[in-house]
Structure 1
Amino acid sequence: MQTAPNKSAATEASPPRIVQTPFFRPETLGDTRIKGVRFIGKTVSDIDQTIAFYEQAVPFELISRYRVSASEIYHPEMTSKQYGNVEVALIRTPTVFVKLVDFNPDAKTPAYVKPVIGPGYTHVCFQSPVTDPALPKFLEKGLDMVSRNAPVDLGGYGVTYAYGRDPDGTIIENETVDKPRRQDSAWITHIGGATSDADRIADFYTKFIGYGPRRRGEYSNFPNMDNIVAIDGVALRSAWFALRNFELEFWEFVQPATPVREEPAKVDQIGYNMTAFEVTDADAERDRLAKLGITMVGPAKLSKGWKIYYAYDPDGNVISIQENVSAPKSESIDDMMWIDPTTH
């Protein structure tokens, strides 16, 4: 969720404490080669169902769809069991790609309802203008609302919020914006994750990305926030990171506490399965990260013209660095530009 200081909160609520930090652009740093977030990975029960749900509500262009051996893409320890072929669909949205993966393409996998408090990746956020909001379109397609009294206005600054679940039980957030800075009908702004330690995750991504969070925040005794997540008395600590085309958002649920994940996430679990970063030189980036104590899971994978490395963040979320070595330029994020988030 994108938030601003709530200067008009009711007297019984505690306004959030927000710390705006300097925003550093990666091109100002000599040793990071991360261009931005290439795709959000999403494990689905049925690719046709997922495309039908999303394409009616948001710009959603199918770039490619194919079946491939799971072993070409993933290392064995990344899945809960062995698989043969998986089905993949690469979707282009205005700001980031979404990579859908069906690990059982000939059978429907049951939905999975991850709690709002996590752990791990919990939601992606769609923004849309108040003149053409995406939320009613999602509701018409069967969005299962999570938030209470949605859409929720946190503080009268021109953005309302709503959490809901798609047919797989996976959370999407809708932010409806009074004064959008894009011309698209809808766009994805960030992936959100629930962390058991906001300071630890902020330190990790500062090293991984090469610069620090652009904002930190704390929330408690804030009824409108309770309504968004549908939990009474919620207390939160947060951190946001801004890349060129996308943002990472992390929430530590203090009350109730985000569960501690004992083992790394498996990519075949229904829901968001990874954040993939596009880099200019995957081997050099691997070496840079190794010097910082961030090691890859196994050797590089080569698939569909991409050199791919995987790693885990401290919460066990899968992250990936990917270099385009021979894939079409249309699969890169070079023309996906975002807005300076300090103006939002």
Structure 2
Amino acid sequence: MTRAALRCTALLLVACGGVATPAPTPTPATMPGPAPLQRVGDAASRNGECVACHDEIAAQWQDSLHRAAYTSPDFQSALRSEPLPFCRGCHAPEADPRRPEPELAALGVACVSCHLPQGDAVLSARPADAPRAAPHPVLRDPAFAAADACANCHEFTFPDRRPVPEYMQTTVREHRASTQPDRSCADCHMPRVATNDGAAVRSHAFSASRDLAWMREAFTVTAQRPAPDRVELSLDLHEDRVGHAFPTGDLLRRLVVSVAVTGVARRTAPQRRYLARHWKHARPGKGPGVRTLDHDDRLGVGEDPRVLTFTLDPADAALPVEWRVRYERVEAFVGPGEDGARVVGGLDLFEGTLPSE
């Protein structure tokens, strides 16, 4: 067909209304994030409706860290030290971050926080061909099944005015750089469980750092004494199970690796190493001091496996050595160095004893 014929055909199609109009591109759903965006109705009553209909899932959520995001003693203690609206935005997303209403703040990260971030349609990750029977509008978006659903509250920069923004939490970019960026956060933190009627749903208990058995599956520890005066501990992250550095999340989470010679005649003092994001204080220009990253030696960052060597006094060569790996939640550092930490909780993950050689 000649160019002129093509032009005539196009004109005829336009005249007859035969030109196909492109289908409108669906507007992406708003993902959950800090502070309410456009809450329809009262958050507490709307959340109560969720709980009343989805009682099994609600029972899981009631015992979760999301539910206790605002009311937990750890957060309340940290908030007294730094009463910032920025912090309340994620920990009490249904309340006014400047003047939080007690009832709304106590909801923590609620059903409506994730499933009703904007508008009146309940956000769902179930595919479009899933059963649609529901007493409310449903908005289905595959992004809600991916890391995008968690990113707004699990990766962010410091809320100050430093010249170059610096990340306070980096979990999402850690996930993208991991060996399994295609797996979702929910695959690990919301495994599928069976309900009483036999349906398979995502658990809303949100498995995390308070679960001892779950944390122990993140890595293995091998301890050896290659020489009478030397101890080596090798920590190997299970990269097929953990899609980010370990520990991740809050900037002050850390692993404490310690060794101690046993016996009253020991000469070697107990020793500790910390695997964490290590911070230093800087004062940019004439502004207030800020915490900035010095170095990062968490599992999954750099050397793998991480091998730590401890040297003993030769006089202790005939004495056994106890070793331990502990996960700690640190609220603040008091005094110089990382030994002066205000620890608010943690878990003893691995321990053992190496006999004398």
With normalisation by structure 2, the TM-score equals: 0.25
Bigger Cα Rg: 2
Which is richer in strand? Answer: 1
With normalisation by structure 1, the TM-score equals: 0.26
Which is richer in helix? Answer: 2
